[in-house]
Amino acid sequence: MTTASQLPIVDLRSDTVTRPSKGMLAAISAAKVGDDVYGDDPTVNSLEERAAEMFGKAAGLFAATGSLTNQLAIKMLVKPGEELICDENSHIARAELGAAAVFSGITTRTWASQNGILKADDAMRIARPNSGVHLVSTTAIAIENTHNFGGGTVQSMAEIVALRQASLSSGMTMHLDGARIWNAHIAQGFELKEIAKYFDTISICLSKGLGAPIGSVMLGSKEHVASARVWRKRYGGGMRQVGIIAAAGHYALDNNLPLLKEDHRRAQILAQACAKVAPNAVDASKVVTNIVGIELGSLNIDSATFVQAAKDAGVWVGAIGPKYVRLVTHLDLTDELVERAAVVLADLLQKALVA
């Protein structure tokens, strides 16, 4: 008999767990490099230009992480003592460990949402631009697309346009946390330039669904990117022959973008298998990209127990809250692995219903 321990692990904790493919490793080893702090690395320079061109922005800055590109961007938009507003479950508010306050003296206030889905009115209701001497002035708004903790949800273009129109008249700027903008682009079919034009700065990740081992790019005006380049160095984020990493980014853009639709299809398989046994825990109709949220609120199991039981059965998933578990599909999965995970997870949910 084959036991769970003899089968390959199905790792659904994140789309950051992928290993560089053979083709990507070949691109890395063939990369032309130079000292990027001197601006000499041709592979980094061409990746920055390529990303900027894709999004219709004037310039780009390569950095090690999406947290760093988010933080460099919002530093360009918000001065010390001013305020950034964002959704209460956004990565910037919850998962960057207070960096906006620590690095930039920025205060943050948040609006509540359902599944991270943007409603322009929710943001405008808490925005306080030009607040004078008594209140903190809101100077920028950050939007996450897709929304990670919201369950990979895609923002409505109409709400983004409405928010831009409402906020621009009082001088507020907008930042897009586009760590998974690629998934939104594939799911919704909009042009990258079309969405980018509503934002002053953008952060994109090559290390999520696109499968590069490292790498994010901040996009914006020439002035913002030049200043962010200085701050990147000041934080210790200047890298040298980093074309070996940028080459992986080029490879990901050349090859992996169309593969995201497979991730979305596989997330649907997982969502439907879970929803079939526990419709209160998973709403498959809300799963539109590569993230499946499992809400354990109505079941007799908590996240830690669920994660451990799944792990014992060879399936690794992530606990995002005490009663909320996240599954993420990615490049290193196969239909076979996904089918096996679906059986394991549905079985656990079934047991939690009757426990």
Phi then psi for residue 210, to 5 deg, are: -75, -15
Task: Give the Cα separation of 256 and 183 in Å (integer).
Answer: 11
- DSSP label at 21? P
Q: CA angle, corner 88, sides to 103 and 146, nearest 5?
A: 90
148 interacts with ligand PLP by CB under 6 A: yes
Report how many residues bind ligand PLP under the rule CB under 6 A. 13
Interface with ligand PLP by CB under 6 A: which range of 1-9, 155-163, 202-210, 276-284? 202-210
Contact call for residues 263 and 331 (beta carbons, < 8 A): yes
Task: Give the Cα separation of 148 and 10 in Å (integer).
Answer: 20
**Residue facing ligand PLP at closest CB distance:** 66
CA distances for 52 relative to 24, 30, 291, 292, angstroms: 22, 23, 27, 30
In the window 157-186, what residues touch ligand PLP (CB under 6 A)? 177, 179
Interface with ligand PLP by CB under 6 A: which range of 114-122, 127-135, 192-200, 204-212? 204-212
Binding mask 8-47 for ligand PLP (x = CB under 6 A): ----------------------------------------
In the window 89-118, what residues touch ligand PLP (CB under 6 A)? 91
205 interacts with ligand PLP by CB under 6 A: yes
Nearer to ligand PLP, 217 or 301 (CB): 217
| Dihedral (Cα; 247, 194, 268, 205), 10-degree rounding | 30
Instruction: Return the amino acid letter for 315.
Output: V
Interface with ligand PLP by CB under 6 A: which range of 39-47, 59-67, 112-120, 237-245? 59-67
Q: Site residues (CB under 6 A) for ligand PLP?
A: 65-67, 70, 91, 144, 148, 177, 179, 205, 207-208, 216
